Amino acid sequence: MSHGDLSQMSMQELFRQEAESQTQVLTSGLLELENDAAAADQLEACMRAAHSLKGAARIVGIHAGVDVAHAMEDCFVAAQRGDIRLGKEHIDLLLRGGDLLLHLGNLPEAEISRPTAESPLAVTTFLTELKGLLDNGEVAEALADADSLPAAGESEVLADHVEPLTAFADARESAERVLRVRAENLNRLLGLTGESLVESRWLKPFSESLLRLKRLHSDTSAALDELRAALTGQVLDECSAAALADLQQRIIASRHLLSERLVELDMFDSRSTNLAQRLYNEALACRMRPFADGIRSFPRMVRDLGHALGKQVRLDIVGKATQVDRDILEKLDAPLGHLLRNAIDHGIESAVERLAASKPAEGVITLEARHSAGMLQIIVTDDGRGIDLDLLRQTVIERNHVNSETAHKLSDAELLAFVFLPGFTLRDTVTEVSGRGVGLDVVQDMVKRVRGTVRVVPQLGHGTRFLMQLPLTLSVVRTLLAEIDGEPYAFPLAYIVRTLMLPREQIELIEGRQHFNFDGRAVGLVNACQLLGGGEPKLAGNELPVIVVSDGGNSYGLVADRFLGERALVVQPLDVRFGKVQDIAAGALMEDGSPVLIVDVEDLVRSVEKLVIAGHLSLVQRSVTTDRKRKRVLVVDDSLTVRELERKLLSHAGYEVEVAVDGMDGWNAARTGHFDLMVSDIDMPRMDGIELVTLIKKDPNLKYLPVMIVSYKDREEDRRRGLEAGADYYLTKGSFHDETLLAAVVDMIGEAEA
């Protein structure tokens, strides 16, 4: 990591930085002036940019740069006065002048201070050509006077060059400090802020447990009041009365102290969570840049290529301020360049063709960036001729990609997928711009590498629309969590086509492989457990949770144990010592701090294909097996006698029973095991039953687990507390003898075998 500010930069570096900024102003202004030559604000902006570059070049000693900028400035002044009207020839030449200034700024220091007489040939040619376009001779004067201009550092600096010099001095003294940070350090910082955000959320359950402790204090105080009432009228010795009064005072004081600390804890929890969220947002913002930063060269490219091909074309940009992850923005340069060149060359017609088709002579390409449903959408649309699907189908057949019969069965979406193949083109001849089949495959490759999707929507005669859907950032990925072989796995949403509950009777066996009908086509069915779990799949019921995934080419339906919901996860790269873990892309932490693996869907699809080729792909049961599994019950009680009594009653009835010795033990067992029912006591050490039930019902993976509370307490307030916490059933331990417990269990989850 290195530090730096403008005061530490050399004069040449400062000039180079100013040249990049000011030539961007020149380019934008000139492109606007090409559409409206009389735009006063653009003429003023261009004149000021040329003026600033002239002064900056003089300070640094780039004499050729002074000549070029001075000539350009005179040209803009002449246009402001109305002496000339800027046309296409002027714009072309002035754009070249901006390119020259950029080139001069990048020359080695030994070459930048050459005198005007030794100016590069390109500079002399530029000045001569610009002179030829002007009638007032101002450029000729500039050329004639060039040798007489004061050198940098001399006392006779012209007044109009003082402004840039002052700007340079001010920049050195008061510029905002710039910090350069390596990308991996920033990624590590973002990962740590994500972890801090996860950790901050642990305070809430702790606060809630203290709140339950406060209620217990209230219950204890109420019980003491009942005791005092029961002792009313009885004579207590002085010592007993004092002890009772002292006990009541201690309970009141502890309740007040607990209330105060709870308020403080809630405030700390709120501040901590808010601070962690702000820290994470700021770290994430460091990775984001406006879309405009990555597309500055495209308006000029579109204009120049359009002129080279003899077409009138304009680029409209929508969403310049849209924030984009800097890594994604860098990767967008080549794909967007290909799409724009493709639109100009293949899509936009000549002016004659457009007028004949009742279109404006000027074609329009729209480049748009926007956020939608937590994703970044980049859309490139042109109003040209569109894609002829019949021609595309014929080309696919001629190039032996598929036979004629198959080609005519392909849907439009399947047919359009061929345009993304490497080497595929609709052109018969090769030009400097197209015909080699390189372009759209580059687009798809980049999109796949950042876990995105791309699709094309053609309208014959009206244009083509390319839609890229990308993650907002490579550090955060939106996923679907699914349980597979008892473990959660995260599937990036970009690779998910759809999720569905598939009836078993809709599974078909074709050539030894299982398929199901999805949108009119057969999609292969795969046990995700075989790929990721390694154990036996737990597939009960008549409907199967299926995730339809696609790598852009092949689609499969993955059968999971169950869906756990959608999550936005902070990507945590796996330790490099693991190497490439098969079918896994990265890791992440969930909100409760537990780890989860992010699936590499492309790798997973390849694994499926290997199993298919080897003939080792297991089959999903097409009907519910008759070899029914026993239902599992978790019994949580700190009393050995009660625990064993409940275990024996349930085991003899055919249930599979696991026991836990207190609330904490029960919480750990519930999170790591799979149960159909939990039976819990209330009064237990470390964590009581009310707290345990509350945690169960708040956990997204466990909230549907039925819970029965079994307690000696048969008071209405105890029953109400249990049910309010989320318990589904409340039973007193005195009911064991008449097997009410077994009847209640059957009512809640059915017979032991399912």
DSSP secondary structure, 419-481, as one string: GGSTT--S-SS--SSSSSS-SHHHHHHHHHHTT-EEEEEEETTTEEEEEEEEES-SSEEEEEE
288 vs 286: CA distance, rounded Å: 6
The interaxial angle of helices 440-449 and 326-342, nearest 10 deg, is 160
Give the residue from 334, 300, 289, 295 showing the smallest Cα distance to 318: 295
Q: How many CB atoms lie within 10 A of CB 245?
A: 11
Residues in CB range of 621: below 8 A, 6 or more apart:
504, 539
H-assigned helices in 36-120? 40-60, 63-81, 88-105, 109-112
Of 256-270, 299-313, 607-621, 655-669, where does mean pLDDT reach its minimum? 256-270
265 vs 246: CA distance, rounded Å: 28
Would the pLDDT of 368 be above 60? yes
pLDDT of residue 742: 86
The pairing of strands 521-527 and 555-559 is parallel
H or E, element range at 326 = helix 326-342
Give the residue from 594, 497, 487 showing the smallest Cα distance to 531: 487
**Average of per-residue pLDDT across 558-572:** 84
71 vs 141: CA distance, rounded Å: 9
pLDDT of residue 644: 80
49 vs 97: CA distance, rounded Å: 12
pLDDT level of residue 739 (50, 70, 90 thresholds) = confident
For the whole model, what pTM was predicted?
0.54
pLDDT level of residue 737 (50, 70, 90 thresholds) = low
Across 77-81, 178-182, 223-227, 555-559, the highest mean pLDDT is recorded for 555-559
656 vs 665: CA distance, rounded Å: 18
The residue ranges of DSSP E strands in 83-172, in sequence order, are none
CA distances 56 to 16, 70, 113, Å, are 10, 11, 13
**Average of per-residue pLDDT across 747-751:** 86
Of 214-218, 241-245, 450-454, 629-633, where does mean pLDDT reach its minimum? 214-218
Would the pLDDT of 284 be above 80? no
Q: Are 417 and 393 in contact (CB under 8 A)?
A: no
33 vs 39: CA distance, rounded Å: 6
The tokens for 120 are 């590069």
Percent of the chain with pLDDT over 90: 12
pLDDT of residue 634: 93
- The pLDDT tens digits for 628-663 are 578 899 999 888 778 888 888 888 888 888 888 888
**Average of per-residue pLDDT across 415-430:** 74
Would the pLDDT of 157 be above 80? no
Residues in CB range of 477: below 8 A, 6 or more apart:
451, 471, 490, 492, 568, 569, 571, 588, 598
Residues in CB range of 360: below 8 A, 6 or more apart:
354
- In the chain, the N- to C-terminal Cα span, in Å, equals 61
pLDDT of residue 156: 35
340 vs 647: CA distance, rounded Å: 71
- The pLDDT tens digits for 667-713 are 888 887 789 999 998 888 888 888 899 999 888 888 889 999 888 77
Residue 476 carries which side chain, given as an amino acid letter? Answer: V
Would the pLDDT of 360 be above 90? yes
Summary mean pLDDT of the chain: 79
- The pLDDT tens digits for 107-123 are 765 555 554 444 577 88
666 vs 115: CA distance, rounded Å: 86
The pairing of strands 632-636 and 595-599 is unpaired
Q: What is the C-alpha R_g of the chain?
A: 37
pLDDT of residue 493: 85
Would the pLDDT of 223 be above 80? no
- The pLDDT tens digits for 86-101 are 888 888 889 888 888 8
CA distances 263 to 26, 205, 208, 334, Å, are 60, 15, 12, 55
pLDDT of residue 412: 84
Give the residue from 601, 350, 342, 323 showing the smallest Cα distance to 456: 342
Residue 303 carries which side chain, given as an amino acid letter? Answer: R
Q: How many CB atoms lie within 10 A of CB 37?
A: 17
Dihedrals phi, psi of 696, to nearest 5 degrees: -60, -45
Residue 358 carries which side chain, given as an amino acid letter? Answer: S
pLDDT of residue 178: 59
Q: Are 482 and 560 in contact (CB under 8 A)?
A: yes
pLDDT of residue 140: 44
pLDDT of residue 626: 47
Would the pLDDT of 173 be above 80? no
As beta bridge partners, residue 517 has: 522
Would the pLDDT of 9 be above 50? yes
Of 489-493, 503-507, 531-535, where does mean pLDDT reach its minimum? 531-535
What residue has token string 């169950």? 562
Would the pLDDT of 489 be above 90? yes
pLDDT of residue 361: 92
Starting from the edge strand earliest in sequence, which strands make up the sheet with 513-518, in order? 496-503, 543-550, 555-559, 521-527, 513-518, 508-510
Q: Are 241 and 723 in contact (CB under 8 A)?
A: no
Residues in CB range of 482: below 8 A, 6 or more apart:
488, 489, 491, 528, 545, 547, 560, 561, 562, 563, 564
Q: Are 657 and 650 in contact (CB under 8 A)?
A: yes
Task: Give the single-character DSSP code of 531.
Answer: I
Task: Give the single-character DSSP code of 629.
Answer: P
pLDDT level of residue 539 (50, 70, 90 thresholds) = low
pLDDT level of residue 430 (50, 70, 90 thresholds) = very low
Would the pLDDT of 253 be above 80? no
Task: Give the single-character DSSP code of 347.
Answer: I
pLDDT level of residue 417 (50, 70, 90 thresholds) = confident
Would the pLDDT of 161 be above 50? no
- The pLDDT tens digits for 39-56 are 888 888 898 888 888 888
Overall size of the chain counted in residues = 754
Identify the residue with better confidence: 153 or 124. 124
As beta bridge partners, residue 471 has: 375
